[in-house]
Amino acid sequence: MPKPYFLSRPSGLYVRFRVPDDVRHKVGLRFIVRALGPLRGDSARLLAARQAVALSAVFDRLRKGDGEMAGIDPKKLIESAERSLADGSAREWTGTDVQIGGVRFGSVTTHGAEDTLDFIATMKAAVELQAALGTRSPPEPAAPAPPPISPPAVASAEPKLSKAIETYLADLEAAKRDRKTIIESRHSLRILLGVIGDVPSSTLSQDHARTFFDAVRHWPSNATKRPEYRDLDVAQVVALSKTNAEPEPAAHTINKHRQRLSAFVQSLLAARVLAHNPLKGIVWMTEHAADADVETGRAFTTEELQAIFDKDAFGAWAKKYPHRFWGPILGLYSGARVTEIAQLYAADIETIDGVPGFHITRRFDGQKIKNKQSKRFVPLAKPVIDAGFLDYVAEVRQAGHERLFPHLPNSTGLGFGRQLSRQFSTYIKKRGVADSGVGFHAFRHTFATLLDKAGESMEAISRLTGHWDGQQAPSTLGKFYIHRETIPLRVATLAKFAPGVAVPNYTRGQFAKSLTASGPVDRDSEE
């Protein structure tokens, strides 16, 4: 029996059968392709199987040398079945002595409209194959073709792409997914819709996926803010970006777009809107692109650290708000991510077994962690304690603030670290650290790099950076989970961190004015 191979095309779903080599010269075709109309999922597979049975019988007859097509005219059977659908009598329809050429099927009974539609499509496929073989059916008077019948329930299962995207994003909202995830998913799917159009979602193909990847490879950075791009539609942005020869995003960025598209495609596959995954067979941009935890960038050099923490320059930049002062210092001596630091609450600062440190968790409003393995307790390095950090924590508590850095906003829902990250990037560029993509995250690379050079194991470093799961040896800074008994080990590891720069000391009451009442929200990204 010929094996069906399903094809998703812009015009709908099709099934292709390969004509066996030994009868190909009689048929004159290598493949026979049939439209499946609105059918999807099990219904489409059932119809394809029935067509395969009919074709198999015809091929067997051809092998026996019988090219005649005799018996009851299949067109009349088709008309009879379609009439039963039209007049509502298709609950059970029976055709007797069903025969195509020398192939006899006997009586055929269908149960319900869906079975009848399947039978009609199968018989039409056999009639068209009959025509392809150069044979004729008995002549009959011309008659107007009955109107096509499309079951409303099947048609409604084919949402347009825009509607499918809207539903998917609403599901993310209902599932309480991270706000950043929702915003980034909306961005990627907007590009998809903009470059391939509002096609039926069931027709998504590899060609569509490749068109999408071409668009994200040419998507300019900050397109929604730059005057030359912000008022253009998606297709116009891509076209102008190509004209302007905008630099291509990093492979990591392109692969993040792929991950978002893949999540959307999986939802369509689960709903049986798609029969096949259009991303299957399209390779990732880089060897490690499928790793969602890839972190790009480089470490700061000693000279750059000295420029960043220059007493006069750093003091001037950080004088208004405590997060500018303590954020970089904590980043340098902990390797923590900017969001992990910016979202700290005063209650997160705690002494455990005589070791002062801070919890990275999500027990308070607005807090989030990258994954469950990121949860950890990070001891405070001696230079941080000596600089007066615990004095500042006491002042925050005395002022009645819950959050350690109360002036950082989270108005976009993307996390408290967004503003500090932007401010720090602006500051270090003015200090001569102008490499593209180098920002607060470079503290994390600096921390791990210098400890590695000091001879610390990957496992020891991972306990502090929050990658290891505590159960197996990590690879490329794998995962992490909190173990209270490892606190002394973390303290010992931290003692070996020597960045070669002196951080400024905190003066008690230095931020007393800004801590009064709620203090103004720091929205300034230019200073």
Whether residue 527 lies inside any domain: the answer is no
Q: Please name the residues in contact with 232: beta carbons below 8 A apart, sequence gap of 6 or more.
A: 240
Interior angle at CA 230, CA 421 and CA 225, nearest 5? 20
Whether residue 152 lies inside any domain: the answer is no
Residue 35 burial (CB count, 10 A): 16
Q: Please name the residues in contact with 143: beta carbons below 8 A apart, sequence gap of 6 or more.
A: 79
Whether residue 156 lies inside any domain: the answer is no
Whether residue 520 lies inside any domain: the answer is no
3-class state of residue 342 by DSSP? helix
pLDDT of residue 466: 79
3-class state of residue 224 by DSSP? coil
Partners of 403 in the beta sheet?
345
Interior angle at CA 294, CA 358 and CA 341, nearest 5? 20
> Is the same domain home to 96 and 199?
no
> Is the same domain home to 231 and 183?
yes
The per-residue pLDDT for range 27-42, each reduced to its tens digit, is 667 777 777 776 777 7
- In this prediction, residue 526 has a pLDDT band, given cuts at 50, 70 and 90, of very low
Whether residue 149 lies inside any domain: the answer is no
The per-residue pLDDT for range 52-80, each reduced to its tens digit, is 777 777 777 667 764 443 444 555 555 55
Q: Is the pLDDT of residue 428 over 60?
A: yes
Phi first, then psi, for residue 160 (nearest 5°) are -65, 160
pLDDT of residue 219: 93
Whether residue 295 lies inside any domain: the answer is no
Burial (CB count <10 Å: 0-12, 13-18, 19+), residue 454: middle
pLDDT of residue 504: 92
> Is the same domain home to 332 and 432?
yes
> Is the same domain home to 165 and 103?
no
H helices present in 133-197, as ranges: 152-155, 161-174, 179-196
Domain harbouring 445, CATH code: 1.10.443.10
3-class state of residue 200 by DSSP? strand
Whether residue 525 lies inside any domain: the answer is no
Q: Please name the residues in contact with 489: beta carbons below 8 A apart, sequence gap of 6 or more.
A: 460, 463
> Is the same domain home to 126 and 64?
yes
> Is the same domain home to 507 and 375?
yes
Higher-scoring residue by pLDDT: 114, 259: 259
* Owner of token pair 């290598």: 30
> Is the same domain home to 335 and 241?
no
Domain count, the chain: 3
H or E element in which residue 95 lies: strand 92-100
> Is the same domain home to 388 and 490?
yes
The per-residue pLDDT for range 247-306, each reduced to its tens digit, is 888 777 888 898 899 999 999 998 888 888 988 878 765 433 333 333 456 889 999 999
The arithmetic mean of pLDDT across residues 331-337, rounded, is 94
- In this prediction, residue 443 has a pLDDT band, given cuts at 50, 70 and 90, of very high
> Is the same domain home to 30 and 94?
yes
- What's the pTM? 0.50
Distances in Å between the Cα of 172 and the Cα atoms of 181, 277, 460, 491 are 9, 21, 37, 40
Distances in Å between the Cα of 58 and the Cα atoms of 51, 62, 69, 131 are 11, 6, 10, 13
Measured between alpha carbons, how far is 296 from 476 in angstroms, rounded to an integer? 12
Residue 12 burial (CB count, 10 A): 17
> Is the same domain home to 378 and 464?
yes
pLDDT of residue 107: 56
> Is the same domain home to 109 and 177?
no
Whether residue 288 lies inside any domain: the answer is no
Measured between alpha carbons, how far is 23 from 261 in angstroms, rounded to an integer? 43
Domain span including residue 91: 5-143
Measured between alpha carbons, how far is 517 from 512 in angstroms, rounded to an integer? 10
The arithmetic mean of pLDDT across residues 489-514, rounded, is 90
pLDDT of residue 312: 94
C-alpha atoms less than 13 angstroms from C-alpha of 283 in its C-beta half-sphere: 4
> Is the same domain home to 137 and 167?
no
Share of the chain above pLDDT 90, in %: 36
pLDDT of residue 120: 62
